[in-house]
Structure 1
């Protein structure tokens, strides 16, 4: 079953389509043929600006977790062999501190519907029963509905395809590497430290920073623009908020 054909979802998608087309028309005098791409960029910035309060909440949550880390390690040392008791004491600690181990997840959850809508707007030839004119829009000659993998499979990839996607993927990779270096999780070498704080897991977390670049190979160009803009915004925002909410020194 196609979820985008479900009437309420189709109505939301059609409203997003209309809004994006109108925004592209407004930007056309300034952006010319790249108006649709510029509208995707502007929508991304607006979404990220709306999520700034959630980003502040996430930074506060990271600061709280860093402050609670010694207490959590003490609980692991004391109740490590009693998983049920460890879970109860851990949740009690979070409750006493008026926080949650899942605090700060809102930015990721809030973006999921937006990414799904952007993907659908440039992946479906028809929206709510009418032709999708967004698929005729391009950026430097590359259709906003084209993907690297799809273009290669269809034999339609051009030098412009590799150039445009190449720039976006390089931006994503650079932002991911800076994020990995700047926000590397501390590696605990103590015997009583949690296995989740080990060097292997720290390396795995670093590798996950680059999954967005891989995803950008498979999604339409419009979605890749959204992803590249998002990772750059997120990096800058985290740097600013980390200075405002520094982590506890281990």
Structure 2
């Protein structure tokens, strides 16, 4: 147990200092404006901490998007392997892993940002829990911890929670609202990905079953555990979810996976944009939707005489045909 504790301390101690440095840095900025003891300065500091952490995780998010897209596109091939080697589980596993290696796909990369963020979340949770008792951690001094613990917000303090509300109904209402917001944003973020950026083939495989399970299990876990989270932690997690929703919406709208609802919606937007600007439609775009009316072939006016086509003659007829005499001038010279 001591060995595991040493490993946990080795991992968490740098995170305590990292989280506390960012939190205290933002508090110095907002404290100079709103006052060091005000709750709004600590709330804005938590939001600033969230934005810094989420911005630092953007490279992992991009890797997650690429891995998820590759997993979606590989589902037809995975199904073929299941049909071919379904009777041999060992061979099926080997062939599936070989397919992942050939395409450079890691099936666990989609969970990587969440796995990386969990220690940071735990460090923040422990930091706020200790600050609620007036104990500093990292670069957060005991004085700053006392300011944090007693900072008024929503009729309570930032360190309050639903289970530790001292009987204040207003604190319980705020805590429940934040728990609902955290749970709803978690659910909507995952549902946004499945409904808009997953092809039809990927919605019926084992990967889709895993995603559907996470769609309902994760919000349930957060809803049950959230009643014990301090208000400060709930603010952090809800802000983080809102960031993820906006970031994911941007990626799905501008760079959707092929053969998805988001991809077809982007094609329609691009075709409409090209039509408005008078550009030539791209390949695959119906010409009837973007054709310029001025480029159509003009129809002949009603009653106009049609040009008579020459009759087809045989070779012998062309040989015996006499050439027409050329007109001459008055002097008898050919013009």
Q: TM-score range by the shorter chain?
A: 0.7 to 0.9
The corresponding residue for 2:330 is none
Secondary structure at 1:100's aligned position in 2? coil
Which moved further from structure 2: 121-130 or 159-168?
121-130
Matches within 5 A, 1:123-138: 123-124=129-130, 125=133, 126-127=135-136, 131=142, 132-133=145-146, 134-138=148-152
Under a length normalisation based on structure 1, what TM-score does the superposition of the two structures give? 0.81
Q: CA deviation at 1:8?
A: 7.8
Contact 2:15/2:120 (<8 A) preserved: no
Secondary structure at 1:226's aligned position in 2? helix
Matched, 1:206 2:220: no
Structure 1: how far apart are the matches of 2:252 and 2:46? 28
Structure 1: how far apart are the matches of 2:174 and 2:6? 30
Q: CA deviation at 1:72?
A: 0.4
What runs of 5+ residues in structure 2 fail to find an aligned partner? 261-335
After superposition, the Cα gap between the structure-2 partners of 1:242 and 1:209, relative to the gap in structure 1 and judged at 3 Å, is farther
Contact 1:3/1:9 (<8 A) preserved: no
Structure 2: how far apart are the matches of 1:31 and 1:113? 31
Q: CA deviation at 1:92?
A: 0.4
Secondary structure at 2:259's aligned position in 1? coil
The corresponding residue for 1:232 is 242
Under a length normalisation based on structure 2, what TM-score does the superposition of the two structures give? 0.62
Structure 2: how far apart are the matches of 1:195 and 1:14? 40
Higher relative contact order (CA 8 A, sep 6+): 1
Q: CA deviation at 1:65?
A: 0.9
Contact 2:19/2:49 (<8 A) preserved: no
- Given candidates 37, 61, 70, the residue that maps to 1:64 is 70
Contact 1:148/1:217 (<8 A) preserved: yes
After superposition, the Cα gap between the structure-2 partners of 1:147 and 1:167, relative to the gap in structure 1 and judged at 3 Å, is same
Alignment size in residue pairs: 241
After superposition, the Cα gap between the structure-2 partners of 1:56 and 1:197, relative to the gap in structure 1 and judged at 3 Å, is closer
Residue deviations 1:26-66, cap 9 Å, x none?
20244441211210111001111111121111111111111
Residue deviations 1:92-150, cap 9 Å, x none?
00111012111233311221121112101111232459633232223233222222123
After superposition, the Cα gap between the structure-2 partners of 1:30 and 1:4, relative to the gap in structure 1 and judged at 3 Å, is farther
Contact 2:182/2:222 (<8 A) preserved: yes
Matched, 1:96 2:96: no
Instruction: Name segments (4+ residues, structure 1) moved above 4 Å.
Output: 1-12, 185-189, 193-198
Matches within 5 A, 1:158-173: 158-173=168-183
Q: CA deviation at 1:219?
A: 1.3
Contact 2:75/2:205 (<8 A) preserved: no
Matched, 1:112 2:118: yes
The corresponding residue for 1:44 is 50
Contact 1:10/1:128 (<8 A) preserved: no
RMSD (CA atoms): 3.1
After superposition, the Cα gap between the structure-2 partners of 1:22 and 1:4, relative to the gap in structure 1 and judged at 3 Å, is farther
Matched, 1:149 2:163: yes
Q: CA deviation at 1:18?
A: 5.3
Structure 2: how far apart are the matches of 1:177 and 1:70? 27
Structure 2: how far apart are the matches of 1:12 and 1:235? 25
Which moved further from structure 2: 49-58 or 134-143?
134-143
Contact 1:21/1:36 (<8 A) preserved: no
